Structure formats: structure tokens, C-alpha cells
Amino acid sequence: MPEVFPKIISVLFFWGIFIFVVLQVPYPESLTQANYTQLILFLTPLYLALIFTLNIFLRNILSSCSFSLGLIFLLILKALDTLNIVTALLTVAATYLLFSYFRKIKKHKLTKLSKIPKLTKKL
């Protein structure tokens, strides 16, 4: 249980930054009229907040990154009014492929041998 507290603190920190950006940064009329500063200030905290929130449940940072990236892509497609069945299915399929690839990665040992011979000094 104590290892969850730093994760919750980071989640609350990034959601707080995202809420601050939403409330303080002036928003444009549409996504196409937004400048790069507005886009970066909005999407970066949202992406990081989604990553750390999903990491609590998935316990794999790479899977959380791929799932969050898919959600951000769907959000951008919806904001550009280009979200349809084809683009949604392609985005979901790409996200699923990334998610399933990173889910299979396991920690491996440095070597397959259980005992590594020690180096000795020959005289």
C-alpha cells in the first residue's frame, strides 16, 4: 500500500496542472486556430495525467503510454471533426497493437545462466 502513495501524488499533480492550464490559458475558437504553445500546454499535461492514472491500474508504463496516446489521437480527431468509423477503427487497432506488444514484455535477467563464473587473476 505505501508504494501507491507516490503514484497517487503524481496523478494529482499532473491533473492539477491540467486543470490549471484549462482554467488559465486562453482558448482559441477552434483547434486549427490554436498556436503551438496552446496545443503543447493543453496536450502535455493531459497526456501525462492519463499515463500516470492508467499506470495505477495497468502497472505497466509502456502500456499506459500507448493507451493514453490512442485516447489523445481520438480526441484530436474529434476536435478536427475527422473522426469517423474508419479513423476510429484504425486508431483503436493501432492502440491495441501497441498495448498488446508492450503487455508481453517481461523483465529478463542479464544472462540465461544462473551462475556467472567470477573473474580471477591468473599468476
Confidence category of residue 7, pLDDT binned at 50, 70, 90 = confident
Residue pair 95/67 in contact (Cβ under 8 Å)? The answer is yes
According to the model, what pLDDT value does residue 110 have? Answer: 60
- CA 24 – CA 19 distance, rounded (Å): 9
According to the model, what pLDDT value does residue 105 have? Answer: 60
According to the model, what pLDDT value does residue 117 have? Answer: 66
**What one-letter code names the amino acid at 90?**
L
* Whole-number Cα distances in Å, 95 to 24, 76, 113: 31, 15, 36
Mean pLDDT of the chain: 86
- CA 52 – CA 50 distance, rounded (Å): 6
> What digits encode the pLDDT tens for the residues 25-70?
888 888 888 899 988 999 999 999 999 999 998 888 888 999 999 9
